[in-house]
Amino acid sequence: MLNDSDYTSQFKTEATPPMKHILITGTSSGIGLSIANYLHGQGHRVLGTSRNAKNKSFDFQTLPLDVTDDASVKACIQEAIDILGSIDVLINNAGMGISGPAEDTTIEEAKTQFETNYFGVVRMTQAVLGHMRELNKGTIININSFLGIIGSPLQSHYAASKYALRGFTESLRYEISSYDIETTDLILGDFKTNFTTNRNEINRISPHYWSMYDSVMEVIERDEHNGADPILVSKLIAKLLRKKGKLKISYSVASPLQKSLLHLKGLIGDNLFENIAKRVWKL
């Protein structure tokens, strides 16, 4: 079971951090809601977002936002600046998942996955960078996944969107290094949220994949149902906002087993790791 000593590397923090102006995407439930509630409770000024913000009531203020829509993103960023005065921290949390064999997934279904998980982050980042550059300060935290490092059967496009996000974050760090703006990935393992319930299944699964689909998804959903409390992600972000010095490229918030798998893949290489992973997936 995860606890506070498992989920983060040790680093020095400020005892009394300054209050930050924070914009978080995807705060209607799950990890995003946990992050927003926790940072609000820590004394930061938090703006959350959701597609149906008017129908939500939280302790923090929410704005309407569809990260797949350029106009919605632009309007949200401007409204956030009007309300907060500045955006010190952007947390790109909004995400969704689809499951199904790669062969059966249509291009449109794959594009839907990328529009939220990858291009949604790109839109938000592009919209806020000019503002942060003018201030010569800012932090962008991208909520990534264990599957952005290690692929998974039946979640090929979800994994691909997270792999893409990893490359985006690493590349962006070079481009903004001359400004006092930082970005980092949070590599998350399994957490107990409504992500499992909300995962979309593709429209058609061929009969020759039925047996695999049932067995693999049983493993995936079991691990998610037994996942950790999202508060651990919230606590890590709070610590990162108090951290002295530069942020690393990524921080992992995963079970000891998942962290060991991440380490093992880098240690033994992709081909040997694949043989081990097949046993995990019962393939």
Active site residues: 158
DSSP secondary structure string for all residues of 265-280: HHHH-HHHHHHHHHHH
DSSP secondary structure string for all residues of 27-93: -SSHHHHHHHHHHHHTT-EEEEEETTGGG---SSEEEE--TT-HHHHHHHHHHHHHHHSS--EEEE-
| Number of neighbours of residue 113 by Cβ within 10 angstroms | 24
- Could you give the CA distance from residue 51 to residue 66 in angstroms, rounded to a whole number? 5
Q: How far is CA 79 from each of CA 50, 55, 118, 161, 280, rounded to the nearest angstrom?
A: 14, 18, 23, 28, 46
Which residue, 169, 152, 76, is CA-closest to 118? Answer: 169
Which residue, 174, 90, 93, is CA-closest to 130? Answer: 90
The token pair at 82 is 């009007």
- Could you give the CA distance from residue 18 to residue 226 in angstroms, rounded to a whole number? 35
Which residue, 151, 220, 161, 149, is CA-closest to 188? Answer: 149
- Exposed, middle or buried by CB within 10 Å (0-12, 13-18, 19+), for 270? exposed
* 73 in Cβ contact with 123 (< 8 Å): yes
